Amino acid sequence: MNESLILNAKKAGDIFSYDEDLKKQYIAMSKKFHPDVYKSSKANEIMVIINTFYEQAQEMIEKGTWVESNSITFSGTDGKKRKINYLTEFDFELGKTFVATSVVCFLFDKDKEIYYNNYMIQARSLKFENDKMKEQFKNLTPKIIDNFITKDGKFGIVVSKKPQEILLTDLLKYVNILEDRHIAWVLGRLYSLSCFFYYNGIAHNGISLETVYVNPETHSVSILGGWEYTKKLHEKMVGIKKLVYDLLPVKTKEDKLATHIADLEGIRLIGRQLLGFKNITQANKSSVPKSFISWVWSGSSENSYEEYTKWEKVLKSSYGERKFIKLDLTPQKIYGERK
C-alpha cells in the first residue's frame, strides 16, 4: 500500500481487502501512515481517508456487500460470495443495476421482493412456437444464471449478456444524437420483440433506454431489464416506467390493466429520445425523413402485429430497401478498457 493508492482511492474496497482481517489491515496502515511516523505533508489527509474508509468497510461487511471501484461483491444468505466487475452502474426506481462485460446484475431493494419474484417468473415463462422462433429470440430476452439474497435483505438477479452489447442509455450519452438510420433498425428490432411478447400474451411494461441493449456488430437488440413490471395481458399492472405511464391513455391509467400500448408507446418514446429533438417542430427542420418523424411523434395502437406492419411501411417510405449500415461503436469505446 502506497501514498498514491490511498489518495486516489474512491471506495473503501480500493484500500481494504474483503478476504483479510479488516482490523489487522487497519492497524497496519495506521502504523505506517500515522503523522508521527510517516513524514509527508499528506500524512494527515491519508489518515482521514484510512479512518473514513475503515468505518465504511465495517458497514459493508455487516451488510454483506463489498464495493471497490468498478467492482462489487455480494455475500448471500446462502454463504456464497459473488463478485461482479462492472462497466457501469446506475440507480433505477427499485434498486441498482450493474452492467458488466458478460452479465447484468439487478439488485432490488429489500422492500421490493414482489418485483424480484415477478422478474424471475416472467423471464422464465416465455414460450416459443418452434425452434426457429426460439433461435431468434432466446438470446434477446433474459437468461437468469444466478439469483440471491444479500445479508441485509436485498434481492439480486444475474442474467447473461453478450460482450458486444451496449446499454442504450450509455450509447446515447456517448454519441449525444444517434444517426436516424441506426435509430430505425433499433426500433425495428424492438417492434419485432413486441410481436414476440404479443405471441406470449404479455405486456413487458418496462421498455426504456435503461432496459434495452444493442449490439452494433450484429444489429441485434435485447431487453434484459424491466421484467419486474411484466404481466399477462389484461392482468393488473404491478408497475410501469414513469415516462411511459405519462403517455398512456386515460382509460389505461384508470383500469391499470396490462396492454401492449405501454410497450408500443415506450418504443416510440425511445425513438424520440434517440433523435434528440425536443419537439416535432424542431425535428421537422432536420434532414430526418418526414414519415419517420411523424411516426415517432404520433400515438400507438394496442396491437403489436398491426404496429409492426405499419412500421415496415414507414421504414420503406423513409429509407427504401433495407441496407446494413455499420455502427462503428464498441463497449471499449463507450466504457473504456477495463482489466
SS3 category, 3: helix
The string of pLDDT tens digits covering residues 25-55 is 999 999 999 999 998 899 999 999 999 999 9
For residues 192-198, average pLDDT: 96
If pLDDT is split at 50, 70 and 90, which confidence band does 302 have? confident
Instruction: Please determine, for residue 249, whether its predicted confidence score (pLDDT) is greater than 60.
Output: yes
Q: Which of 103-117, 255-269, 322-336 has the lowest mean pLDDT?
A: 322-336
Best CA proximity match to 320, nearest among 293, 292, 300:
292
If pLDDT is split at 50, 70 and 90, which confidence band does 233 have? very high
SS3 category, 287: coil
Q: In angstroms, rounded to a whole number, what is the distance separating the alpha carbons of residues 46 and 31?
A: 12
Long-range contact pairs involving 241-244 (C-beta distance under 8 Å, separation at least 24):
241/93, 241/205, 241/206, 241/207, 241/208, 241/266, 242/93, 243/208, 243/269, 244/205, 244/207, 244/208, 244/269
Q: In angstroms, rounded to a whole number, what is the distance separating the alpha carbons of residues 133 and 138?
A: 8
SS3 category, 205: coil
Cell of 58: 465495517
Q: In angstroms, rounded to a whole number, what is the distance separating the alpha carbons of residues 97 and 86?
A: 10
Q: In angstroms, rounded to a whole number, what is the distance separating the alpha carbons of residues 128 and 192?
A: 14
For residues 129-144, average pLDDT: 95
Query: Which residues have a Cβ under 8 Å from the Cβ of 269 and sit 6 or more positions away?
Result: 208, 243, 244, 247
Is the dihedral angle over the CA atoms 66, 72, 76, 79 positive or is it negative? negative
Q: In angstroms, rounded to a whole number, what is the distance separating the alpha carbons of residues 198 and 110?
A: 32
For residues 298-314, average pLDDT: 93
Strand order through the sheet with 155-160: 65-68, 71-75, 81-92, 95-100, 103-108, 155-160, 144-149
